[in-house]
């Protein structure tokens, strides 16, 4: 257990406020921003800090999210420490540039306030925007609550900027559920955060005219593949960095961070896996089931890209059945993305039933009792020896 010597202040903040507070303490060089519900208040808060002279950031209010990420790429290539934030359609609008940011190895940090992709148009929480980011080459961290929104936003800079990594990072926080709900958050003092984050001195910068270079050249079939292979290595190499930064953060704050959270997994027979705030609800379900004598457990991934498949599978060893909850659909895949990814790493490792549950689309609520039915379904699969091949939906009106 880490010894906490860093003073902290307990405050009530929404997830958006918490992420904005982290950005205030980091004091990025450039923040290009465009509003979209439910991210808007994050940048409102940051803009207020800026207006009050609490940050030195060059804040650029651009005309679209595509411009926001374009400005972020330009600024980062020029050697600035850059952050922005968005949700859903805003992410979809900027996505072409996001792939580019990752390919150019620019360590931009972006809170992504998870909101359903249209259509139909919906402003509420689901994970479809994060799923759109899956193959973009960005590191993905997930938050269960506002404390994690603050803590992960800080750590994201250290992870992204690490010389072995130099890859942009998304910090996912559930729209409205986390972004707009006030929770207790322990905030570190400015000076220790500044020391933890450190300065950002990129190896090269477009503003350094003594060492000119070009970025964004055309890469023909004879060279493109090598860039992408290199990028793949960098995101793989970020996994130990995520762990190392997590340990350093634990020493600073007293709060441990790794690549997943183990909630009663040790002797668990029935395990549910989920991303984001649903884990908070699931923990209550686990506690209630444990009180009834059911050996329930929860695997809460924190790092989603790179996908720590072998580590997740190790966490699941000993389980008798696993249900994976996905708050997004991949049409035609018969099961969510997280489900399929996890199950594929279980290949020839764990010979147990894996169930897929699609839930919570467009902000459809998921409650403790519903999650308990998932555990009961796992128990039923085991009792009856069922071979479940179809993804299930929970919470939709049949």
Partner 1 sequence: MTTDIKPHTWKTMPRGGIIPEAGNAAAYRTGAWRTYRPIWSAENCIHCLTCWILCPDASIQAERGKVKGIDYEHCKGCGICAHECPINAKVLANDKLSPEEKEKKKAITMVLEGETAASKE
Does 115 interact with partner 1 (rule: CB under 8 A)? no
The yes or no reply on residue 236 touching partner 1 (CB under 8 A) is no
Q: Check binding of 164 to partner 1 (CB under 8 A).
A: no
What is the nearest approach in angstroms of partner 1 to the Cβ of residue 189? 35
Task: Tell me which residue of 311, 291, 289 sits closest to 299, measured CA to CA.
Answer: 311
User: CA dist 12 to 17, 50, 240, Å?
Assistant: 9, 21, 32
Among the listed ranges 55-63, 97-105, 303-311, 318-326, the one in contact with partner 1 (CB under 8 A) is 97-105
Choose between 219 and 347: whose C-beta lies nearer to partner 1. 219
227 binds partner 1 (CB under 8 A): yes
Q: Find the shortest distance in angstroms from Cβ 163 to partner 1.
A: 10
Q: Which is nearer to partner 1, 233 or 349 (CB)?
A: 233
CA distances from 178 to 81, 188, 249, 316 (A): 26, 20, 22, 27
Element at 110 (helix H, strand E): strand 109-114
Going by C-alpha positions, the residue among 128, 145, 60 that lies closest to residue 90 is: 128
89 versus 167: smaller Cβ distance to partner 1: 167
Which CB atom, from 17 or from 161, has the smaller least distance to partner 1?
161
Q: Which is nearer to partner 1, 77 or 321 (CB)?
A: 77
Region label for 360, one of left (φ > 0), alpha (ψ between -120 and 50) or beta (otherwise)? left
Least distance in angstroms from the C-beta of 164 to partner 1:
11
- Site for partner 1 contains 78 (CB under 8 A): no
Smallest distance from partner 1 to CB 104, Å? 4
Could you tell me if 89 and 38 are in contact, meaning their C-beta atoms sit under 8 angstroms apart? no
Check whether the bond before 306 is cis (ω within 30° of 0): yes
Lookup: tokens for 336: 């969510």
DSSP string across 321-343:
EEEEEESS--TTSSS-HHHHHHH
Taking phi over 0 as left and psi of -120 to 50 as alpha, with beta for the rest, 186 belongs to: beta
- Closest approach, Cβ 210 to partner 1, in A, equals 11
Minimum distance from CB of 183 to partner 1 (Å)?
38
User: How many alpha carbons fall within 13 Å on the CB side of residue 171?
Assistant: 38
Member of 12, 48, 64, 233 binding partner 1 (CB under 8 A): 233
Element (H, E) at 284: helix 278-291
Instruction: Give the residue, chosen from 213, 351, 369, 385, that forms a contact with partner 1 under the rule CB under 8 A.
Output: 213
Q: How far apart are CA 342 and CA 309, in angstroms?
A: 6
Give the nearest distance from C-beta 207 to partner 1 in angstroms.
Answer: 14
Considering only residues 333 to 362 of the shown chain, the ones binding partner 1 according to CB under 8 A are none
- For residue 140, the minimal CB distance to partner 1 (Å) is 20
Site string for partner 1, 123-162 (x = CB under 8 A): ----------------------------------------
CA–CA dist 114, 133 (Å, integer)? 11
Using the minimum distance from each CB to partner 1, give the nearer residue, 218 or 291.
Answer: 218
Least distance between partner 1 and beta carbon 46 (Å):
27
Residue 319 half-sphere exposure, CB side, CA atoms within 13 Å? 30
Q: Which stretch binds partner 1 (CB under 8 A): 229-237, 305-313, 359-367, 380-388?
A: 229-237
- Decide if 285 contacts 271 (C-beta within 8 A): no
Q: Which is nearer to partner 1, 159 or 265 (CB)?
A: 159
- Sites for partner 1 among residues 43-62 (CB under 8 A): none
Size of the site for partner 1 (CB under 8 A): 21
What tokens were used for 64?
């679209």
* Residue 150 CA to its chain's centroid (Å): 12
Binding of partner 1 at residue 207 (CB under 8 A)? no
Spatial CA neighbour of 136 closest among 96, 174, 104: 96
Name the residues that contact partner 1, by CB under 8 A: 103-106, 166, 204, 212-217, 219, 222-223, 225-227, 229-230, 233
């Amino acid at each position: 257990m880490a010894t906490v010597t860093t003073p902290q202040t307990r405050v009530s903040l929404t997830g958006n406020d918490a992420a904005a507070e982290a950005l205030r303490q980091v004091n990025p060089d450039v923040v290009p921003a465009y509003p979209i519900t439910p991210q808007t208040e994050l940048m409102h808060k940051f803009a207020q800090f800026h207006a009050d002279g609490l940050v030195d950031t060059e804040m650029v209010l651009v005309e679209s999210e595509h411009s926001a990420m374009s400005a972020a790429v330009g600024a980062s290539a020029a050697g600035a420490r850059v952050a922005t934030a968005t949700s859903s359609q805003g992410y979809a609008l900027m996505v072409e540039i996001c792939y580019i940011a990752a390919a150019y190895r620019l360590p931009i940090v972006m809170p992504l306030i998870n909101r359903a992709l249209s259509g139909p148009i919906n402003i509420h929480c689901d994970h479809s925007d994060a799923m759109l980011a899956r193959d973009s080459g960005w590191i993905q961290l997930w938050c269960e609550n506002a404390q994690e929104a603050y803590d992960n936003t800080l750590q994201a800079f250290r992870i992204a900027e690490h010389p072995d990594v130099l890859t942009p990072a998304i910090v996912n926080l559930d729209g409205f559920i986390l972004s707009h709900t006030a929770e207790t958050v322990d905030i570190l003092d400015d000076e220790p955060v500044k020391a933890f984050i450190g300065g950002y001195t990129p190896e090269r910068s477009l503003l350094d005219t003594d060492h000119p270079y070009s970025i964004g050249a055309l890469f023909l079939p004879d060279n493109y593949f090598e860039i992408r292979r290199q990028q793949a290595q960098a995101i793989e190499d970020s996994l130990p960095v995520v762990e190392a930064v997590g340990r350093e953060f634990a020493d600073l704050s007293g709060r441990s961070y790794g690549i997943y959270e183990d909630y009663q997994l040790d002797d668990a027979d029935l395990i549910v896996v989920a991303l984001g705030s649903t884990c908070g609800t699931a923990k209550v379900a686990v506690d209630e089931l444990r009180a009834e004598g059911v050996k329930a457990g929860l695997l809460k991934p924190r790092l989603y890209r790179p996908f720590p498949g072998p580590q997740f599978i190790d966490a699941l060893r000993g389980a008798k059945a696993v249900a994976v909850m996905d708050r997004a659909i991949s049409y035609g895949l018969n099961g969510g993305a997280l489900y399929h990814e996890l199950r594929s790493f279980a290949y020839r490792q764990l010979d147990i039933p894996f169930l897929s549950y699609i839930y919570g689309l467009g902000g459809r609520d998921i409650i403790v009792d519903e999650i308990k039915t998932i555990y009961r379904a796992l128990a039923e699969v085991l009792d009856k020896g069922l071979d479940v091949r179809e993804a299930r939906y929970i919470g939709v009106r049949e």
